[in-house]
Amino acid sequence: MARIVVCGYMIRHPLAGNILAYFHYLMGLHLLGHDVIYLEESGWPESCYQPETQMYGDDPSSGIE
Q: What is the pLDDT of residue 1?
A: 86
CA pair distance 21, 38, nearest whole angstrom: 13
Report angle CA 48, 52, 54 to the nearest 5 degrees.
60
Each domain of the chain, given as residue ranges in start order, spans 3-64
**Residue 56 pLDDT class (50, 70, 90 cuts):** very high
**pLDDT for 12-26, tens place per residue?**
999 999 999 999 999
Average pLDDT, the chain: 94
Q: pTM score, two decimals?
A: 0.79
Four-CA torsion 32, 64, 12, 16, nearest 10 degrees: 60
